[in-house]
Amino acid sequence: MTDTSVLAQRLTAVRTRVAEAARTAGRRPDEIRVLLATKTLDAETVRAALTLPEAAGMVRGENRVQELVAKGPALADLAVPTHLIGPLQSNKVNAALRWAGCVQSVTSVELATRLSDRVADGAVLDVMVQVNVSGEVTKHGVAPEQGLDLAAQVAALPRLRLIGFMTVGAHTPDTGLVRAGYARLAAIRDEALAAGLATARELSMGMSGDLELAVAEGATMVRVGTAVFGARPAL
């Protein structure tokens, strides 16, 4: 059975970290939203966390379409925005669209076009362009020099609303390198705004281990899993 008191304490600790990081950076804490990454967690645990007062205003994120679909019915009654934050294959677009209100992992115009084609008439899907700021082969996303061009192409498609950019930070103890990657994403976002992509304001970057670095570089959303739910089982 899920220990909600532990979850509440951890959620509060995350909020405190975000608030302190924001103040250190000269920002307002309410400029940064927390996304709870719920990979590998069962629907009961996810519900227990998201229905706590400490989780008010938070977003849920799933890495895998299979889990998004599997948990969808059990969590459908929750008034919590759900984002897909992991890779999306074109043959799973329909499944993803049923349960996700935002796809953060758009990495090609082909995928964006397929999403646009499959969104229901009259509906709009929020999307982000995923950029690989570290250059690590294990990371998904377009190269930084391709980010602005892809964003412009995505923004031009019907039924999609480009709301910003997402990245996964470099896997290194070198905090300067991690922070430089986040600064690079913020620069791409600023270029997009200057180019007239007025809705592309979000910066989804930073996770449990480095959210302070991301907030310092302008993150508007941090994706937190381990800090709330503990270490995940190896798959």
User: For 68-77, how does the pLDDT look when each residue is reduced to its tens digit (9 = 90+)?
Assistant: 999 999 999 9
For residue 49, is it within any domain?
yes
CATH number, domain containing residue 86: 3.20.20.10
234 within some domain: no
Helices (H) and strands (E) in the chain, counts: 9, 8
**Is 70 exposed, middle or buried, given 0-12, 13-18 or 19+ CB atoms closer than 10 A?**
middle
Mean pLDDT computed over 38-43: 96
Give the tens place of pLDDT for each residue, 179-216. Answer: 999 999 999 999 999 999 999 999 999 999 999 999 99
pLDDT tens-digit map of 82-128: 999 999 999 999 999 999 999 999 999 999 999 999 999 999 999 99
Where are the alpha helices (H) located in the chain, listed in sequence order?
A: 4-24, 43-50, 65-75, 93-99, 109-118, 144-155, 175-194, 211-216, 226-229
**Could you tell me if residue 45 is inside a domain?**
yes
* pTM for this predicted structure: 0.95
In-domain check, residue 157: yes
CB neighbourhood size of 161 (10 A): 14
- Paired with 36 in beta bridges are 60, 224
Structure tokens at 117: 């084609």
Q: Examine residue 163 and state whether it is found in any structural domain, yes or no.
A: yes
Domain count, the chain: 1
Domain limits at 174? 4-228
